């Protein structure tokens, strides 16, 4: 028997059709193990693969020749056994290729992809030897060499800056110093730490309950301003003293600077930071700091849940209700599911914190699946802000503005006189979002997406917020030929102009995706506002949660019920969350806060309960609707979206798939229904409801595989438990 060594390798392409391993030979002595990247030939092209397992095969038993591994790219595995098992579980639960899950777990520098950018390398120098003596003209060479001998290795560029190119080059040429390359590394900064605060009695009770709970997953239902963050930090400190690690997750980049500041104030440089605004090299460096056991605390957004911690003692998911925790492209994972799965592996507590918990989490806590700890008292007995609901329809009948109504104008003027700060929330960016023909009422839509184009005054152009297409403002209406257009609605740019007109002496700062696209822009804006360099901060939902400014005594929420117009089943919950979270930014200092909520439908129960900070009654009423409609948390959902330039050609194939699913008595299947065209592709969707998620996944997998084999040209996106059905 002639045995040859064979590696089973996943190929870099995240396509379900090739979601399997491929066999490659490797010679004796090649250092291979599961979880390392290799370069192989696939379909006559060099690609990157991920080693799954190593076997031996009798060469005589094969009727074909195996190709060899061309190159091993890693000295040690990138993912440990826990993360490898997590990827397998993730692939099953999200109906995704395994390689897509591996790629989601790694920073782009070391992702199994051919087009990755190489890791940044820097040149260093180190002392090697010295002559018996230097002559008089070699004084600079002597100083340079002795400096290196005393200080050890250093960056070659810094050494040359200190002593000049000529003397340092001479030392290199004479081999008195060695020149070598190393990966760029995170530069440590000495950070001063501050002591922990003494917990209030309410915080101490919650802290003790969290520690005493036998549940591994615990929902901390804490009012805005109740001091949840301090509890997280003191629990993390407790875990670190036991020699374990803590993972703290926040939903959005906008919340990261404040959380990072608080964590670094307590733990200094013992913290790794991981979020989307870091460049590729920085993310790689932070990943390696964790992998090399250089830190005990990780703070980050959604993707930080995959950081290679191997001794986790605590996972915190702040603002657990937030939709940003859901990955919106393949693999469609929810950060909460990954955090809980990692908590199971490490037998550690997973704390889900929120003032407005997701209905799914609160329902599980009420059932006893999760633990439940409440903290409904603000720190130092600060009262929750008074909420005033303004009926915009009523104000319009009085010839008032629908943008900033008179009650809110008066409140802003009062706060400006008192030198206090104001936050204004409008969940729409741009200037006048929609352009409409004045004669035939036709809305200008994106030619590729069938969605309304949004006008941006600074560009004087129309922008599609879905595909990014930019168009010049039209001169004539395509439908009727009219030259007259009206602009309806308003966005943050228009609001900024209106506020500046009403309050010319006010210092106004606008935050939306158009103004904070640059690196560290969030941190810069929040620091400036915290230093009172602006009186009014206006922006989209990125300013609605997590921010803590003691001088903010007024929050205005405009168009608060706009989300209710959506047909999505979560729109009511999203509206309630947004109002309560934004309201919580007011009155965190010594002065009481106020909130003005402008709404066209002030009687809606989401607005009524949000204005009273009444989560429990909102939960009960919204759960009744979910129960009647059989939506989560009473059922699970799977969405299948099909797309193609000419999807009508495949209608019968999609209908056949739907009939197969409908034949299963355990499933309720809706569709296929037509969706709006996006990216110049027609779309149809099927929705599957059920109460047994594993059965649903298996059923969808079976028809999905068959469909893809017969119609590989049709794009199919499968999302298990989607956030939205719009």
CA torsion through residues 420, 400, 515, 568, sign: positive
Helices 156-163, 165-173: axis angle to 10 degrees equals 120
Q: Which residue in this structure is represented by tokens 């438990």?
A: 721
User: Does 307 score more than 80 pLDDT?
Assistant: yes
| pLDDT digit string, tens, across residues 71-111 | 999 988 999 899 999 999 999 999 999 999 999 999 988 88
User: Does 490 score more than 80 pLDDT?
Assistant: no
Confidence (pLDDT) at 430:
44
3-class DSSP assignment, residue 482:
coil
Confidence (pLDDT) at 489:
67
| pLDDT digit string, tens, across residues 334-354 | 999 999 999 999 999 999 999
| pLDDT digit string, tens, across residues 562-580 | 888 777 889 899 999 999 9
| Nearest residue to 507 (alpha-carbon basis) of 414, 569, 567, 421 | 421
Higher pLDDT, 523 or 718: 718
Confidence (pLDDT) at 90:
96
Q: Average the pLDDT over each of 191-200, 369-378, 625-634 and give the range with the smallest value.
A: 191-200
Specify the DSSP class assigned to residue 450: S
575-579 contacts, C-beta under 8 A, 24 or more apart: 575/604, 575/606, 575/607, 575/610, 576/356, 576/606, 576/609, 576/610, 576/618, 576/622, 577/321, 577/356, 578/425, 578/427, 578/541, 578/544, 579/606, 579/607, 579/610, 579/611
How far apart (Å, rounded) are the C-alpha atoms in residues 436 and 439? 9
User: Does 491 score more than 90 pLDDT?
Assistant: no
How far apart (Å, rounded) are the C-alpha atoms in residues 720 and 726? 15
CA torsion through residues 265, 269, 274, 278, sign: positive
Out of 142-151, 192-201, 461-470, 594-603, the most confident range is: 594-603
How far apart (Å, rounded) are the C-alpha atoms in residues 679 and 667? 31
Phi, psi angles (nearest 5°) of residue 365: -65, -40
Confidence (pLDDT) at 136:
66
How far apart (Å, rounded) are the C-alpha atoms in residues 674 and 683? 6
Q: What is the DSSP string of 587-625?
A: S-SSS--EEEEEES-TTSHHHHHHHTT-HHHHHHHHHHH
Confidence (pLDDT) at 335:
97
3-class DSSP assignment, residue 701:
helix
Interstrand relation of 121-127 and 154-155 (parallel, antiparallel or unpaired): antiparallel
- Nearby residues of 441 by Cβ (< 8 Å), 6 or more positions away: none
User: Does 610 score more than 90 pLDDT?
Assistant: yes
> Quick check: 653 and 726 in contact, CB under 8 A?
no
How far apart, in Å, are the Cα atoms of 34 and each of 113, 315, 554? 17, 27, 56
Tell me the percentage of the chain whose pLDDT exceeds 90.
56
Q: Give the residue-averaged pLDDT of 422-433.
A: 71
3-class DSSP assignment, residue 203:
helix
| pLDDT digit string, tens, across residues 33-64 | 999 999 999 999 999 999 999 999 888 888 88
- Nearby residues of 114 by Cβ (< 8 Å), 6 or more positions away: 12, 46, 47, 48
Place 187 in a pLDDT band, splitting at 50, 70 and 90.
Answer: low
> Quick check: 90 and 333 in contact, CB under 8 A?
yes
User: Does 299 score more than 90 pLDDT?
Assistant: yes
Q: What size, in residues, is the chain?
A: 726
How far apart (Å, rounded) are the C-alpha atoms in residues 669 and 470? 38
Give the burial class of 644: count Cβ atoms within 10 A of its Cβ; 0-12 exposed, 13-18 middle, 19 or more buried. middle
> Quick check: 653 and 711 in contact, CB under 8 A?
yes
| pLDDT digit string, tens, across residues 127-138 | 888 887 777 678
Confidence (pLDDT) at 189:
66
| Sheet with 470-472: strands ordered across | 454-456, 461-463, 470-472
| pLDDT digit string, tens, across residues 525-541 | 888 998 999 999 998 88
| Nearest residue to 275 (alpha-carbon basis) of 295, 252, 259 | 252
Place 640 in a pLDDT band, splitting at 50, 70 and 90.
Answer: very high
User: Does 123 score more than 80 pLDDT?
Assistant: yes
Q: Give the residue-averaged pLDDT of 116-121.
A: 74
Share of the chain residues as helix, strand and coil, in percent rounded to the nearest 5: 35, 25, 40
How far apart, in Å, are the Cα atoms of 486 and each of 216, 437, 439, 476, 482? 56, 6, 10, 12, 11
**Which tokens sit at 195?**
């002591």
User: Does 428 score more than 70 pLDDT?
Assistant: no
> Quick check: 135 and 49 in contact, CB under 8 A?
no
Average pLDDT over the chain, rounded to an integer = 89
| Nearest residue to 36 (alpha-carbon basis) of 80, 95, 90 | 80
In angstroms, the first-to-last Cα distance of the chain is 60
How far apart, in Å, are the Cα atoms of 681 and each of 578, 632, 651, 712? 32, 29, 14, 16
| pLDDT digit string, tens, across residues 376-407 | 888 877 888 999 999 988 998 999 988 899 99
Confidence (pLDDT) at 607:
95
| pLDDT digit string, tens, across residues 577-588 | 999 998 988 888
Q: Which residue in this structure is represented by tokens 């794009």?
A: 715
Helices (H), 481-600: 492-502, 521-530, 571-583
How far apart, in Å, are the Cα atoms of 191 and each of 24, 73, 267, 269? 49, 36, 9, 6
- Nearby residues of 718 by Cβ (< 8 Å), 6 or more positions away: 94, 95, 96, 332, 638, 639, 640, 700, 704
Q: Give the residue-averaged pLDDT of 476-504.
A: 85
> Quick check: 22 and 8 in contact, CB under 8 A?
yes
């Amino acid at each position: 028997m002639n045995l040859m060594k064979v590696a089973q390798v996943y190929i870099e392409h995240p396509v379900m059709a090739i979601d399997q391993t491929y066999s490659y030979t490797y010679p004796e002595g090649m250092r291979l193990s599961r979880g390392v990247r290799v370069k192989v030939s696939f379909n006559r092209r060099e690609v990157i693969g991920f080693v799954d397992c190593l076997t031996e095969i009798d060469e005589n038993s094969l009727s074909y020749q195996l190709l060899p591994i061309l190159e091993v790219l890693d000295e040690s595995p990138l993912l440990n056994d826990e993360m490898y098992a997590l990827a397998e579980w993730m692939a099953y639960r999200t109906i995704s290729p395994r390689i897509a899950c591996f790629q989601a777990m790694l920073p782009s520098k070391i992702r199994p992809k051919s087009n990755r950018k190489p890791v940044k390398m820097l040149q260093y120098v180190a002392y090697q030897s010295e002559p018996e003596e230097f002559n008089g003209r070699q004084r600079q060479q002597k100083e340079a060499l002795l400096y290196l001998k005393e200080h050890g290795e250093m960056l070659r560029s810094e050494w040359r800056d200190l002593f000049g190119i000529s003397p340092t080059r001479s030392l290199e040429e004479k081999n008195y110093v060695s020149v070598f390359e190393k990966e760029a590394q995170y530069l440590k900064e000495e950070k001063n730490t501050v002591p922990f605060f003494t917990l209030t009695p309410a915080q101490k009770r919650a802290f003790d309950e969290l520690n005493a709970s036998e549940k591994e997953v615990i929902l901390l239902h804490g009012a805005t301003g109740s001091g949840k963050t301090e509890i997280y930090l003191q629990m993390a400190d407790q875990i670190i003293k036991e020699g374990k690690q803590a993972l703290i997750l926040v939903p959005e980049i906008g919340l990261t600077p404040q959380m990072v500041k608080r964590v670094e104030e307590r733990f200094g440089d013992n913290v790794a930071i991981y979020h989307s605004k870091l460049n590729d090299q920085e993310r790689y460096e932070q990943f390696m700091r964790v992998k090399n056991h250089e830190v005990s605390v990780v703070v980050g957004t959604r993707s930080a849940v995959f950081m290679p911690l191997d001794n986790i003692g605590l996972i915190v998911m702040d603002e657990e209700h937030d939709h940003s925790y859901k990955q919106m492209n393949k693999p469609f994972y929810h950060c909460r599911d990954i955090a809980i799965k990692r908590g199971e592996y490490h037998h550690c507590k997973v704390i889900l914190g929120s003032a407005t918990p997701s209905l799914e989490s609160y329902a599980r806590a009420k059932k006893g699946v999760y633990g439940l700890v409440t903290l409904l008292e603000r720190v130092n007995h600060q009262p929750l802000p008074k909420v005033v609901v303004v009926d915009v329809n009523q104000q319009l009948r009085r010839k008032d503005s629908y943008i900033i109504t008179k009650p809110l104008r008066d409140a802003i003027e009062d706060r400006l006189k008192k030198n206090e700060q104001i936050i204004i929330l409008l969940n729409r960016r741009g200037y006048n979002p929609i352009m409409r023909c004045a004669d035939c009422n036709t809305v200008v839509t994106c030619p590729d997406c069938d969605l309304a184009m949004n006008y941006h005054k600074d560009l004087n152009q129309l922008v599609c917020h879905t595909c990014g297409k930019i168009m010049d403002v039209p001169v004539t209406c395509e439908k009727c030929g009219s030259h007259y257009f009206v602009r309806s609605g308003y966005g943050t740019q228009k609001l900024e102009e209106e506020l500046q007109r009403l309050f010319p002496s006010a210092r106004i700062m606008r935050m939306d995706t158009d103004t904070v696209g640059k690196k560290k822009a969030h941190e810069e804006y929040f620091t400036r506002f915290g230093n009172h360099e602006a009186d009014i901060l206006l922006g989209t939902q990125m300013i609605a949660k997590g921010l803590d400014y003691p001088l903010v005594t007024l929050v205005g929420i405009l168009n608060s019920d706009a989300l209710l117009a959506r047909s999505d089943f979560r729109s009511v919950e999203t509206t309630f969350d947004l109002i309560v979270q934004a309201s919580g930014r007011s009155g965190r200092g010594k002065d009481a806060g106020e909130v003005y909520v402008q709404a066209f439908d002030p009687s809606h129960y989401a607005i009524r309960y949000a204005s009273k900070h009444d989560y429990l009654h909102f939960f009960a009423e919204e759960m009744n609707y979910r129960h009647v409609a059989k939506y989560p948390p009473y059922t699970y959902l799977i969405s299948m979206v099909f797309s193609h330039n000419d999807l009508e050609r495949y209608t019968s194939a999609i209908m056949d798939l739907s009939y197969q699913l409908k034949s299963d008595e355990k499933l309720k299947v809706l569709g296929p229904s037509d969706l709006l065209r996006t990216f110049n592709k027609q779309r149809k969707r099927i929705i599957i409801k059920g109460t047994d998620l594993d059965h649903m996944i298996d059923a969808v997998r079976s028809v999905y595989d068959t469909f893809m084999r017969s119609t590989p040209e049709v794009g199919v996106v499968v999302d298990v438990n989607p956030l939205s059905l719009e």
